[in-house]
Structure 1
Amino acid sequence: MSRRSALLMGGAGGVAMAGGGAWLGSVAAQPAAAPVAEGAIGGLTTPPPYAPSGRRPKNRRATWSQQFQASHGWTAGGAGTASAEANDRTQFVRGTQSVRVTTNGTGKQSYVRRSGMTAVNLTGKMIRLVFRVDDVTNLSKLVFYLGSGALKNHFSWTFHVHSRTAANYVQSGEWVTVHLQWADVTGAAGTYAISATGTPSTTAGFTDMSFAVYDNAGGPVTYRLQAVELIPDTADVFPRGVVSLTFDDSHKSIHDLARPVMDSFGFPGTVYNIADAIGTGSFLTVDQMRSMQNFSGWEMGGHAYANATHTASYPKLTAEQADEDFRRLREWLVSNGFTSEHFAYPHGAFQKTSDGVPVDLIASRHFTTARSIISETIESFAPAHPYRLKALTGITDGTGIGGTALSKLTGEGGRLDRCAESGDWLILCLHKVVEGAPRTSTEIGTAGLTTLMREIADRDIPVVTVEEAMAHYQ
Structure 2
Amino acid sequence: MKRPMQVIDIDAKDLPTGLVGPYREDTVIRVIDRAGQPLYRWNGAQWAAQVEAVVDNVTGRIKFSGGDYDLDIPTPANNTTFDLMPTDSAAKWIADKSPAQITAEVDNSVEFNGRPTIKVTVPAGVSGTVRLGTTGADCPTPYGWDAKNIGLAFKSSNLAAHGNIITVMVGDGTYANFFTTGYNAGNFPQHKAQNGDWLCMKPTVMGTGGGAPVVASMMRVRVSMTFTAQATDTIIWFGSVGVLPVRKKPTIVLTWDDGYKSWYDFIRPLAQHYQIPVSMGIACDLIGTNGFLTWDQIVEMHNDPSGLFDIVNHGRVNDSYNTLGAAAYYADLVKCRDALRSRGINHDGPLHHPWIQSVWGNDMIPLLESGGFLTARASGYTFSDGRDQALPDDKWKWLLNICTNLQTGKSLAQAQADIGTVITDGGVGMINAHDFAATDAAYVWSYEKTAQLFGWLASQRDSGVIEIKSWSRWYSDRVGRGYQRP
- Superposed, 1:5-404 pairs within 5 Å as 52-53=57-58, 60-64=79-83, 66-67=86-87, 69-74=89-94, 75=96, 84-87=102-105, 92-93=110-111, 98-101=119-122, 112-114=132-134, 116-121=137-142, 127-136=150-159, 139-142=163-166, 144-148=168-172, 150=174, 153-155=177-179, 157=181, 161-162=185-186, 167-168=190-191, 170-174=193-197, 176=198, 178=200, 180=202, 184-185=204-205, 187-188=207-208, 191=212, 205=217, 207-211=219-223, 222=234, 224-230=236-242, 233=245, 235=247, 239-293=248-302, 294-296=304-306, 297-304=308-315, 306-307=316-317, 310-313=318-321, 316-319=324-327, 321-341=328-348, 342-344=351-353, 345-353=355-363, 358-373=364-379, 375-376=381-382, 377-384=384-391, 385=394, 387-396=397-406, 399=409
Normalising by structure 1, report the TM-score. 0.64
TM-score w.r.t. the length of structure 2 is: 0.63
The CA distance in 2 between the partners of 1:436 and 1:206, in whole Å, is: 59
- Using CA pairs under 8 Å that are at least 6 residues apart, name the structure with larger relative contact order, 1 or 2: 1
Tell me, yes or no, if the aligned pair for 2:253 and 2:471 is still in contact at 8 Å.
Answer: yes
Q: Pick one of 468, 471, 474 that aligns with 2:476.
A: 471
8 A contact 2:422–2:429 mirrored in 1: no
1:371–1:390 contact (8 Å) kept in structure 2: yes
For the residue of structure 1 that corresponds to 2:92, the secondary structure is coil
State the alpha-carbon separation in 2 of the partners of residues 204 and 282 from structure 1.
60
Q: How far apart in 1 are the matches of 2:232 and 2:408?
A: 42
8 Å Cα contact 1:145/1:209 also seen in 2: yes
On the 8 A contact 2:365/2:398 being kept in 1, the answer is no
Distance 1:154 1:446, change over 3 A: farther
Runs of 4+ in 1 over 6 A off after TM superposition: 88-91, 102-106, 214-217
User: What are the Cα deviations for residues 387-432 of structure 1, in whole angstroms up to 9, with x where unaligned?
Assistant: 425212552476599xx95355245xx222222xxxx3x1314022
Letter in 2 for 1:265: Y
Deviation at 1:276, TM superposition (A): 1.1
Residue 129 of structure 1: SS of its match in structure 2? strand
In structure 1, C-alpha distance between the alignment counterparts of 2:59 and 2:122, rounded to whole Å: 36
Look up the SS of the partner of 1:207 in the other structure.
Answer: strand
CA RMSD of aligned residues (A): 4.7
The alpha carbon displacement at 1:277 in A equals 1.4
> Counterparts of 1:337 and 1:408 in 2: how far apart (Å)?
38
Q: Structure 2: where are the runs of 5+ without partners?
A: 1-55, 61-72, 482-486
2:472 partner SS: helix
Structure showing greater radius of gyration is 2
CA 1:153–1:415 in structure 2 vs 1: closer, same or farther (change >3 Å)? farther
Gaps of 5+ in 1: 1-50, 193-201
Aligned length: 386
Task: Quote the offset at 1:463 in angstroms.
Answer: 0.7
Percent identity of equivalent pairs: 16
Deviation (angstroms), 1:300? 0.3
Take 1:212 and 1:155, find their aligned partners in 2: how far apart are those partners?
13
Alpha-carbon distance between aligned partners in 2 of 1:109 and 1:280, rounded to the nearest angstrom: 60
CA contact (8 A) 1:111 1:212 kept: yes
Contact between 1:314 and 1:349, CA under 8 Å: does it hold in 2? yes
Q: Cα 1:96–1:329, aligned 2, differ >3 Å: closer, same or farther?
A: closer
